[in-house]
Amino acid sequence: MTILPSFYYPRLILFFLIALDLFSKQCARRFLAQDTPVFLFGDAITLMVVTNYDGFAGTMAAMPHWLHQLLSIYVFAVATTLLVVVLLKKEKSQDSYVLPLVLVTAGALGNGIDKIMHGGGVTDFIQLNIALLQTGIFNFADFFIISGSFGAGYVWFSCQKEGPV
């Protein structure tokens, strides 16, 4: 006996991931001091609140203001809307894409909501420094987007070789 039809699982996961992202950002803003790092496991994980206005890895820092606004608001809105529509309208043959789509959509919506709540800035607070893995400062939404993108790529390449996963 199933408690909920499988129709609801992606939506519940999406809601949970967005809530997790926003809650973690709220906790970071409340409990971490601005520009004062907290080191965990030596310096493997650094927690420090930064409000990022420049996009992923600073990619929009040198852009003119009008282009920054266009990409931050309008392109984001269109892309996120398309992701949600694809997620809601997906066919049974596309089941292997559900989790990657949920991850990317949750990350996009989490960062979008944070951007609206904080005047165009996104709260970043995690940095990894583990052997060769040294990251910039990011948040859970960024992790969801990257994980979902890699997952979608994996599914796509697997389908090209073997047929649907």
The pLDDT of 77-100, averaged and rounded, is 75
At residue 91, the pLDDT reads 59
Q: What is the rounded distance in angstroms from the CA atom of residue 140 to the CA atom of residue 154?
A: 21
Distance CA 13, CA 19 (A): 10
Q: Are 49 and 123 in contact (CB under 8 A)?
A: yes
141 or 155, which is more confident: 141
* More confidently predicted of 137 and 77: 137
pLDDT of residue 163 exceeding 60: no
Would the pTM count as exceeding 0.85?
A: no
Q: What is the pLDDT of residues 100-141, one digit of tens each?
A: 989 999 999 999 899 889 888 899 999 999 988 898 899 999
CA distance 61 to 70: 14
How much is the pLDDT for 148? 93
pLDDT of 1: 43
CA distance 25 to 79: 23
Pick the range with the lowest mean pLDDT from 52-66, 92-106, 126-140, 151-165: 52-66
Phi, psi of 161 (to 5 degrees): -85, -45
62 — pLDDT class (breaks 50, 70, 90) = low
Lay out the sheet containing 122-130: strands in order across: 38-40, 45-52, 122-130, 133-134
CB atoms within 10 A of CB 52: 24
